Amino acid sequence: MKLNRNGILLLDKPKGISSNRALSLVKKIFCPKKAGHAGTLDPLATGILPILFGEATKFAEYGLNSNKRYLAEISLGTKTTTGDSEGEIIEKISFTENVDIKSVLKSFIGEQFQMPPMFSALKYNGIPLYKYAREGQEIARNSRLINIKSIKFISLNNKVLKIDVVCSKGTYIRTLAEDIGKRLGSCAHLSALRRIGIGALEIGQTITIDKLSQLADSSSSFLNDALKPIELFINHWPSVQLVKSNENNFLNGQLIKMFCPSIQDKEECLVRVYGFSNNFLGTGQIIDNKQLRPVRLISKTNFINAYYE
């Protein structure tokens, strides 16, 4: 039986399975009516993979648009067909450690254009690029503006460089690894990747598939405890609370007259919106500090402060 679950599960995705496979395994445990994930991780990668249930799927974009933090291991001196350790080695260039690696890493900080790799989930004519790549086809791609917020040196042992990266959405760490290799006068590929942060969310808040299976064997109520609130991605936003008479009007998409002295310095501000009983209703925008415009709303039928039936 499918259950009306609403909330966010922060999964620690294991190595060796795709994000869609991880979603499928979680769905078998939770049996939700609706589910999806926010932020694809390659099979090689591990770490935070948000699984969204029910109403939470409406707010996926807020997670997708957040900065990401990764721990990456880069093998210097070898280039592969895929840009990671799953591909075949196609080039070897000697790497000398007599180079200021920290200065090279620092040169990547800031906005820059990055070319998406062929081995990626980006689509061309509705087909993922990696399917073209597997057939030996090269598709013309446009570079995309990204932002490396920070990049820190951790260690360098046996030509394996470990770094800590905070970056904007759409950043491909495999491409970054290859670019780092080039700037060091060599070549490189990504040998390991772990996502440890999405916005303010941290790896310590996650749960593994094995642990979920154990909870499911104990009691379904334990599974509900693993779910985070629908508004998890935007907990850092300011919030407003409506009087009871305005709840239905807001959920019907109507403008609400209100004055918010706490955010009066911002002409147009996105906010979390709660009902009289502190139920999350959705997101809104304060206009000229006089009106609240609905932006993204939960379903009126799910206007309850719970994550399951």
Active site residues: 42
The secondary structure element, H or E, covering residue 28 is helix 19-30
- The amino acid present at 42, given as its one-letter code, is D
- The amino acid present at 83, given as its one-letter code, is G
Beta bridge partners of 193: 72
Spatial separation of the C-alpha atoms in residues 289 and 241, rounded to whole Å: 14
Beta bridge partners of 73: 162, 192
Under a CB-based contact definition with an 8 Å cutoff, are residues 100 and 106 in contact?
no
Under a CB-based contact definition with an 8 Å cutoff, are residues 39 and 68 in contact?
yes
Phi, psi of 80 (to 5 degrees): -120, 165
The secondary structure element, H or E, covering residue 212 is helix 209-218
Cβ burial, residue 84 (10 Å; 0-12/13-18/19+):
buried
Rounded to the nearest angstrom, the gap between the alpha carbon of residue 69 and the centroid of all alpha carbons in its chain is 9
Degrees to nearest 5, angle at CA 279 with 277 and 280: 150
Beta bridge partners of 198: 68, 201
The candidate with the shortest Cα–Cα distance to 192, out of 211, 164, 216, is 164
